[in-house]
Amino acid sequence: MYKRDVVAMILAGGEGRRLDILSAKRAKPAVPFGGKYRIIDFCLSNCVHSGIYCVGVLTQYNPRSLHDHIRIGKPWNLDRMEGGIFLLQPYISDAATDWYRGTADAIYQNLDFLREKKPQLVLILSGDHIYKMDYRPLLRFHMEKQADLTISVIAVPWEEAHRFGVLIADEEGRIVDFEEKPRYPRSNLVNMGIYVFTLEVLEEEVEYEARREGTSFDFGRDVIPRMVRTRRVFAFPFEGYWKDVGTLDAYWKANMELLESPPPLDLYDERWPIYTPVEDRPPVKLGANASVERSILGSGTIVEGRVVNSVLFSGVWVKKGAVVCDSVVMSDTVVEEGAVVHRAILDKAIVVGERAVVGYGEDWTPNRKFPDMLQSGLTVVGKNTRIPPGVLIGRNCRIGPDLDYEDFRDTLVPSGESIERESGGN
């Protein structure tokens, strides 16, 4: 199959509510991951390793960070005359265009782009998953089965299946039943959000959906269940590492898994590197009394204290006597002298004041406002927040972005509590 026969369309416009304040100022695929990358780097790298050099990225919510990251696609060798990368933002015109109402609507509003490229096959990808995958066997499988739609599928633990589209396939691999996020799953084989369509079938299906009243215009809820009844829809089994990092717990666990020996996802495999823009940062620096155990340190990081089982991004500074343990700390965050960060996610450019503690005590009361989101003892702090010296922040706490000293009225933030800037603040 020639390169020009396939166009990849990456759905990167989701609001990302389950990632809460990590996606408050950026699209979910732009959320940093693994000490160096953004989530979208994985499917972009997969595309170029698979020989797919025409890629459309469909953005919508908070797109600036994602656009700044991708630019003209040079790190992925997508800055080219033939093919290349295209940032496809929704727009208003005299035609029937508007904000994307769902995943299928995002494709529908970009049919002109696909018709201009004239691919034989369209590979549709979710931009918010962590995995390495060669798409070429999937594309060959689709052609061999003469499928109208092929869905890449993976078996997940039964207790997680309700979060996904669940399917049942026969011995040939043809999908005979599909249900989106069932309360009581009848299978643990789930939709990975990776689809192969022939262009003609894709056009017909999304145009039909556009004429139908009451639709949510979503592949999982509307298009796929109908196609299972009316078309040849097949399941392509995938057995590698794949993570939907759409929740705070899943995001934190996926970062922690990188620290295992050996890790389930090998970022050091020279045969399948994950590409990302390179920052002009100095080397990592360790102080005279620094201690680092089983951790990832991004470029420009300075450690003078102790770091244990943590992922630190570029430019993080852990000062003397400070401890960071079981945590994800994003770029340019400073942990001042004597401060402690335990089982937490800290976004960019945070200052943890001297002797402050993030992740304090043994009280694991779930967050009162968001009990489903924060109940495992994980505390999350939003971008640009400054935590005053000596403040103790408990477990399952949600500390909003852009907070300053005056927003912390007490020296103790009990477990399960949230702090947000009051309405009217800048």
d(CA 306, CA 404): 26
Strand order in the sheet with 311-312: 296-297, 311-312, 328-329, 344-346, 379-381, 398-399, 418-419
Q: Which residues contact 2 (CB under 8 A, 6 or more apart)?
A: none
Consult the annotation and say whether 181 binds a ligand: yes
User: Does the annotation flag 180 for ligand binding?
Assistant: yes
Residue 100 labelled as part of a binding site:
yes
* Binding site members for alpha-D-glucose 1-phosphate: 100, 165, 180-181
* Binding site members: 100, 165, 180-181
